[in-house]
Amino acid sequence: MKLPILLIALVAMVAAKSAPGRLAARYDHFRVYQLTIETDLQMEELKKIHEHISVHFLNELGAAGHKYNVIVGPLFHRALEKTLKFLEIVYEVIVDDLQKLIDESSVGDDSQMEWETYHSLDTIYDWIDQECAAHDYLECKVIGQSYEGRDIKSIKLSKRSGNKAIFLEGNIHAMEWISSATVTFLLNQLINSEDPEMQRLSEEYDWIVVPMVNPDGFVYTHEVERLWRKNRRPNGYRNETGDCYGIDMNRNFDYHWGGAGWNIDEPCDHWFGGEKPNTEVEIISLQNFVSSFEDGYIRSYMAYHAYGQYVLLPYGHSNTEFPPNYEQMKRIAAAFSDAAADVYGSTFTYGASGLLNYVVSGAAKDWAYGVKNIPFTCTVELRDKGTFGFFLPSNQITEVGLEVTAGLKALVNKAAEEGIFD
């Protein structure tokens, strides 16, 4: 089985043992190139570039007319640039030393939970337990265990009977640390903020939060490989480097599963969607948890991801098919975008993910809409648009939290105006 995005040479260069407390995989002097793909021919050639250059694509390859980020080791800088010039692909080096950036966005003081640095799973879970013990309106459950036996925790905030619920999901992709950081920021605002509007939202709506869907992968990004995306179940395949691990769990939901997506059928690739839908214990636990609530109770499902600054709506499997209430959902997403931009100027593009981003099947938001009939679902792709990408410095966590909080307030109010919670 081939490994098209991360070749043996790259694996060998980054997998050397490191000092205690440091990731085993290192990317010293690896560059991140941002490529502007303007034509279909350039895209076809880009998809074949791994045949002679070791590259690691950070984005799923879709259509022309988009920018794509790739990681390339120092041995291949010159070869890549020569090839890009030959193909007339415009490029920019946006990160000159990836390891330096990874070090700058690594976990800092992990002694207690705050939102100035990234944290380990233990610190995040300890904070959840502390908040649950301190507030009787919080109901906290373990909704299941991961493949490696780690808890998947949930928090339900309910201050008043009869409320409709909003569901927040985080860190289904291991490397997207800003996801769980933002979801816990929002949860902290709902619990502890003195802002009257946040207090009102915590009174008038129930909030159900699963901040860490992929605990195994998340721990792996802290201890072994910062670029890991999937969960950690051995998937039964091998390649030249050994056993292949993991499923992209946001490609594993049983709604138009397997219909489209970059390399979703490559078991050793980052975007492998599984041999069939609903194969992962983490996904089954999440689905069972959502299904444990009565129909019509959860009225919004929001999954938080990185990166790109989008509010992605159903559907992902098509760029020609749209939900019956698509125009309504766009108005709600527009409210988020406008309010978030007011804080720091971050612009969030909104619309169907298959139309705006790329066509891909098996995502949580589509399952929540298409199977569970939740009337407003979305994937919020957080900062930034590619300068830092998955390695957003920790000094931006609070800013992201504040702009998303503003967006969330406006989104919920617009959704109420549109009758979503009726």
Kindly tell me if the per-residue pLDDT of 16 is higher than 60: no
Residues in contact with 310: Cβ distance below 8 Å, sequence separation at least 6, in sequence order: 348, 349, 350, 353, 356, 357, 379, 380, 381
Q: CA separation (Å) from 169 to 26, 131, 166, 409?
A: 29, 18, 10, 17
Kindly tell me if the per-residue pLDDT of 5 is higher than 70: no
Catalytic residue chosen out of the listed positions 381, 399, 417, 418: 381
What is the 3-class SS of 73-109, one letter each residue? Answer: CHHHHHHHHHHHHHCCCEEEEEECCHHHHHHHCCECC
Can 327 be counted among the known catalytic residues?
no
**Dihedral pair phi/psi, residue 250, rounded to 5°:** -85, 15
What token pair was written down for 107? 């976990």
Q: Does the N-terminal peptide bond of residue 384 adopt cis geometry, omega within 30 degrees of 0? A: yes
pLDDT, mean of residues 200-227: 97
Length of the chain: 422
Q: Where are the domains of the chain?
A: 8-104, 121-218+277-417
Pairing mode, if any, of strands 349-352 and 310-313?
Answer: parallel
Of the candidate ranges 58-62, 126-130, 160-164, 412-416, the one whose mean pLDDT is the lowest:
58-62
Three-class secondary structure of residue 71 per DSSP: strand
pLDDT per position as a tens digit, 98-148: 999 998 888 878 889 999 999 999 999 999 999 999 999 999 999 999 999
**121-218+277-417 is classed CATH 3.40.50.11540:** no
* CA 151/CA 144 separation, integer angstroms: 6
Q: 8-104: which CATH number, 1.10.1370.30, 3.30.70.340, 3.60.15.10, 3.30.565.10? A: 3.30.70.340
